[in-house]
Structure 1
Amino acid sequence: MRSGTVWLVVLGLMSFTTVTAAEFRFEDVVEQARERAGSAYQAPDTIPDFMRNLSYQDYQSIRFDPEKNLWKEASSKFQVMLVPAGKFYTRPVNIYVVDAEGVSKLEFDKSLFNMPDSELSKRVPADLGYAGFKLTFPFDGPDIANQFLVFAGASYFRGVSKDTAFGLSARGVAVDTGLPSGEQFPDFTDFWLVRPARNSEEMRVYALLDGPSLTGAYQFTVYPGEETRLDVKARLFIRDDIELLGLAPLTSMFFYGENTPRPDGEWRPQVHDSDGLLIHDGESGEWLWRPLINPKRLATSFHQTSRIAGFGLIQRDTEFRHFEDLEARYERRPSAWVSMDDDWGAGDVVLVEIPTDDETNDNIVAFWSPDDKVTGGAERSLEYSMTFGGPDVARHPGGKAVNTFIGAGDRIGGGDQSGAYRVLVDFAGGQLADIEPDAPVVSKVSGGDGVEVLEHFVEWVQPENKWRLSILARPAKDSILQLRGYLELDDQVVTETWTYSLPPGAGPGSQR
């Protein structure tokens, strides 16, 4: 039996099996996923209406007592805080601990939570259940349990590194995201937390996923630090045909930014968790940067390649003065980068941008989708790494697009072309850092169908040590403004490829 007074009560509520940590393996979860896939889907139980209808403030008042962290009594570097079901989290999950004593289930215990409202405390069911868990690690000192990874709600999980704050989320899988038929949200229904050694720098978590169209087994090996990395192994079993399967999905928020109009009444310069999608094409070696927008209507974009090396949602803007929000601290939001450990074959990086009227909605989704059809009865294995950290988490070596500005192309400073846009893209870093201001840097720009590129040129921006690409382009009436551009020196590419897509009615000035 474990030592410590806090967990003696909890352990009395655990049920044990004789499988030890050394014997419990990923294949055990795979077998459970395979078995579930062979039967009809059954939706998990939901919590009582009272708990689903709690106000946001009431739910937030139910706080896990950090003095009761799992493994705190052993001064473990990794500790666990439990998330109560309620409000958004309507489906309880099963959480097991795998250690030298076996596999034990954590039964719900409301005494682990502080609830200052006595009436609310009385009404919370004694068998409510947990919605998920938070992992902690001592980023700020040996006695400080910093939360760095949260699994809660459907197949969502969020991670941060040492110097970032929670923002974007990841998911186990996405199913039919952005399609008119509607999206499915499979759930992680069971978790197994493998207890690490007291001073271990890594930890392993297993998860079982279940949904109407598929099941899955997941293994997460977690490495927190200056960057927090999750090595992911997954095995999916397809129940029914899936039109659009999303692998390694990332979900974020973009309300408005430097490249979009500021909504009426907003005083903050920008509001977003991520400002762009970065793609590393493993076939061409090209790096592509796509600034995000908040469209008027749902927009879905596809980047096709025969081999993907990596992709991610990035928060490149990390200056407080560009957000001026002391509460949200958007400049500290993490970036997330997905890198493939093997060849995933041909497919698309899919970007879904959903209209939103405020910052409370995660309206951006990016994922990898295979070219081959996903049919019932099929199986799919994959391995990848997901890293949370600062804007350079992708180790992109070239010049980067650090600003994108857009305005009307028919006014002073923009041009004299009705229906056109003036687009400015600032590049910095990489090889550009060693180029003299008078170097013969040239721009390469092209437009999509129906887009007329009227002019483009490059200027050195002396005050900020950047190179500015200026474009004047006009889309056909009611057409999408699609542009791509990069910089060259002596016939050598010195930057990533900047890409942009602006639907009709989403731009500034006369086109708004």
Structure 2
Amino acid sequence: MTGSRLALVCFHLMLLAYPGYAMAFGLDDVADKARALAGEKYQKPEAAPDFLKNLSYSDYQSIRFKSEQSLWRADESRFQAMMVPRGNVYSNAVQLNVINGKGVGPVEFDKSRFEYPSQELAKRIPADLGYAGFRLTYPLSGGEARNQFLVFAGASYFRGVGAGQTFGLSGRGIAVDTGLPSGEEFPAFTEFWMERPSTDSKSMVVYGLLDGPSLTGAYRFDIHPGKSLKMDVTAKLFFRNDIELLGQAPLTSMFYYGENTLRPTGEWRPQVHDSDGLLIHDGKSGEWLWRPLVNPTQLERNYYHVEDLKGFGLLQRDRQFAEFQDNEARYDRRPSMWVTPRGGEGAGWGEGEVVLVEIPTRAETNDNIVAFFKPRRSVKSGETLELSYSVTAGEPGITEQPNGRAVRTFVGAASDDSTLRFIVDFKGGELTGIKPDATVVSQASGGDGTEVIEHFVEYVEASDVWRLSMLAKTAPGKRLALRGALKMDGKPVTETWTYILTPGTGLLGKSQ
């Protein structure tokens, strides 16, 4: 054997012995499975036994994974994985696998990895029940503690946080017909493959297989935890059926009420929401569009056209405890989530619409907000689509937005009880440090049927903001659509604030 061949053999033996090395397995392997699956008839996954599906939320939460059973715990790896039990809304089983130097192997179900609230429940757990998903941990706070920062569980949902944050809104693999009268489909991740990270690794890779009535998909997630969580996502989708409304990179959140809405009867907290607005960046026009969220009286679906999408996300700009006063939920620590497309129209992006779906809710337990990108071209049965994008979770600054931002929106009835006063406070960007007598100019316009009666801007020293005040009205029974921004020297110095208000909010009496 020559010296070069001997060196090559030794190199391969070394890789096999190294626990963090992943054997040849990648997105193409998952895509082969997804492509073959798309050619078969969709099979609905088997649900968990009724006694598990019928567990109350609190009873389900009392099933605890034993942290000492975490994957890669014995190696003291920076990354560790904890399994999610089936039950309550997490009914479907998900096959988990690990990729390491020995190849690809399953993570076998073992109910002894969990602590159950009673021996009676523990006895009823089938030995082959399977897991509902997994949680990843990482030492975000320093030291030896492992912090949960990313969870894959339930349909195609995943939740992530940056350092010091609490879980809030979710991302999803894909959305199908969200908000349409025909009803929404919920494709689900049915199998995951986790590349075993090296002990001191600062990133890891996860693959996912998606299956649903109208499509299948193969996903690769390159995961980078830290002050902000960043995931680079690559996906290959295969369509069984035509889809009327395809939602790329969907985000799901909760908005119950806020500073721009009436407080529900009996509620003492100032605000209750995981996110307070949708932000969109169109690269062609350069515009940054901010849309405060509302809890409508009927389902609302709004489309925001973009010629060259550079990013969109659901943000939680309210960051002070005093704005919520909830010591348990800590909505002030909920993350924002920002989607950045990678690649042009050939990669599934480019021109299209960012869709915002708002669903009425009477409780904070319901996720009633969905935002996603709708491509210009519809998809047909037998077609494929490749997507490449990044999802970042963290503080609102993850957007790297350069201009002034709307930090507060207030709405109230004017003195004559037939019009509404809108107050929008802007801060940051080019507004920072300018003199109170600077020539900042207000700009406001109304949509079809909305009349802007007046608008002006003033500097508020007490809170160091530039306040845009607008008086607007609309015909009885019509929805109000309003836009506003600030300019200086003829150029925009803030994002464009936009607002939709539907009848029945109670701000102008019962009819309005």
**Gapped regions of structure 1 (runs ≥ 5):** 1-19
Give the drift of 1:22.
Answer: 3.0
Give the drift of 1:46.
Answer: 1.3
Paired residues of 2:486 and 2:493 also in contact (CA < 8 A): yes
List aligned pairs for 1:435-450, cutoff 5 A. 435-450=434-449
Cα-to-partner distance string for 1:55-78 (whole Å, 9 max, x where unaligned):
222211111000111100000000
Give the drift of 1:382.
Answer: 0.8
Give the drift of 1:39.
Answer: 1.1
Identify the residue that residue 290 of structure 1 maps to in structure 2: 291
Note if 1:389 corresponds to 2:394: yes
Identify the residue that residue 121 of structure 1 maps to in structure 2: 122
Paired residues of 1:203 and 1:223 also in contact (CA < 8 A): yes
Cα-to-partner distance string for 1:164-221 (whole Å, 9 max, x where unaligned):
1100000000000000000000010000000011100000000000000000000000
Paired residues of 2:178 and 2:184 also in contact (CA < 8 A): yes
User: Once the two structures are aligned, what percentage of the paired residues are identical?
Assistant: 59
Moved more, 207-216 or 57-66: 57-66
- Name the CA distance, whole Å, in 2 between partners of 1:230 and 1:139: 16
Equivalent position SS for 2:503: coil
Give the drift of 1:448.
Answer: 0.3
- Name the CA distance, whole Å, in 1 between partners of 2:64 and 2:130: 14
- Name the CA distance, whole Å, in 1 between partners of 2:227 and 2:501: 35
Paired residues of 2:141 and 2:164 also in contact (CA < 8 A): no
Identify the residue that residue 203 of structure 1 maps to in structure 2: 204
- Name the CA distance, whole Å, in 2 between partners of 1:346 and 1:279: 13
Identify the residue that residue 34 of structure 2 maps to in structure 1: 33
- Name the CA distance, whole Å, in 1 between partners of 2:146 and 2:488: 49
One-letter code aligned to 1:220: F
Note if 1:367 corresponds to 2:372: yes
Identify the residue that residue 340 of structure 1 maps to in structure 2: 341
- Name the CA distance, whole Å, in 1 between partners of 2:170 and 2:378: 27
Identify the residue that residue 426 of structure 1 maps to in structure 2: 425
- Name the CA distance, whole Å, in 1 between partners of 2:375 and 2:38: 21
- Name the CA distance, whole Å, in 2 between partners of 1:283 and 1:238: 30
- Name the CA distance, whole Å, in 2 between partners of 1:22 and 1:399: 49
Identify the residue that residue 8 of structure 1 maps to in structure 2: none
Paired residues of 2:257 and 2:271 also in contact (CA < 8 A): yes
List aligned pairs for 1:105-254, cutoff 5 A. 105-254=106-255
Cα-to-partner distance string for 1:364-392 (whole Å, 9 max, x where unaligned):
00000111121101110010000000011
Equivalent position SS for 2:109: coil
Identify the residue that residue 350 of structure 1 maps to in structure 2: 355
- Name the CA distance, whole Å, in 2 between partners of 1:478 and 1:317: 31
Equivalent position SS for 2:322: helix
Paired residues of 1:260 and 1:507 also in contact (CA < 8 A): no
Cα-to-partner distance string for 1:261-305 (whole Å, 9 max, x where unaligned):
000000000000000000001211100100000000000000011
Identify the residue that residue 497 of structure 1 maps to in structure 2: 496
Equivalent position SS for 1:284: coil
- Name the CA distance, whole Å, in 2 between partners of 1:116 and 1:478: 52
One-letter code aligned to 1:399: G
Give the drift of 1:437.
Answer: 0.2
Deviating above 3 A after TM superposition, structure 1's stretches of 4 or more consecutive aligned residues are none
Give the drift of 1:478.
Answer: 1.0
Q: How many residues align?
A: 487
Give the drift of 1:116.
Answer: 3.6
Paired residues of 1:53 and 1:87 also in contact (CA < 8 A): yes
Cα-to-partner distance string for 1:226-246 (whole Å, 9 max, x where unaligned):
010000000000110000000
Paired residues of 2:255 and 2:274 also in contact (CA < 8 A): yes
- Name the CA distance, whole Å, in 1 between partners of 2:298 and 2:343: 36
Paired residues of 1:54 and 1:86 also in contact (CA < 8 A): yes
- Name the CA distance, whole Å, in 2 between partners of 1:345 and 1:387: 20
Paired residues of 2:457 and 2:467 also in contact (CA < 8 A): yes
- Name the CA distance, whole Å, in 1 between partners of 2:438 and 2:58: 58
- Name the CA distance, whole Å, in 2 between partners of 1:254 and 1:305: 25
- Name the CA distance, whole Å, in 2 between partners of 1:176 and 1:100: 41
One-letter code aligned to 2:375: P
**Gapped regions of structure 2 (runs ≥ 5):** 1-20
Note if 1:463 corresponds to 2:459: no
Equivalent position SS for 1:463: coil
Note if 1:73 corresponds to 2:74: yes
One-letter code aligned to 1:375: K
Equivalent position SS for 1:392: helix
Paired residues of 2:278 and 2:315 also in contact (CA < 8 A): yes
TM-score (norm 2): 0.94
- Name the CA distance, whole Å, in 2 between partners of 1:48 and 1:22: 36
Note if 1:451 corresponds to 2:450: yes
Paired residues of 1:167 and 1:333 also in contact (CA < 8 A): yes
Equivalent position SS for 2:28: helix
Give the drift of 1:509.
Answer: 3.9
- Name the CA distance, whole Å, in 1 between partners of 2:503 and 2:57: 37
- Name the CA distance, whole Å, in 1 between partners of 2:274 and 2:317: 10
Paired residues of 2:162 and 2:226 also in contact (CA < 8 A): yes
Paired residues of 2:23 and 2:103 also in contact (CA < 8 A): no
List aligned pairs for 1:324-335, cutoff 5 A. 324-335=325-336
- Name the CA distance, whole Å, in 1 between partners of 2:458 and 2:153: 48
Identify the residue that residue 270 of structure 2 maps to in structure 1: 269
Identify the residue that residue 49 of structure 2 maps to in structure 1: 48
Give the drift of 1:345.
Answer: 2.3
Moved more, 250-259 or 61-70: 61-70
Cα-to-partner distance string for 1:95-143 (whole Å, 9 max, x where unaligned):
0000011101011100000114111111122211100000000112331
One-letter code aligned to 2:436: P
TM-score (norm 1): 0.94
Equivalent position SS for 1:434: coil
Give the drift of 1:507.
Answer: 4.9
Equivalent position SS for 1:150: strand
- Name the CA distance, whole Å, in 1 between partners of 2:476 and 2:58: 47
- Name the CA distance, whole Å, in 1 between partners of 2:309 and 2:57: 40
CA RMSD of aligned residues (A): 1.0
- Name the CA distance, whole Å, in 2 between partners of 1:430 and 1:440: 16
Paired residues of 2:156 and 2:188 also in contact (CA < 8 A): yes
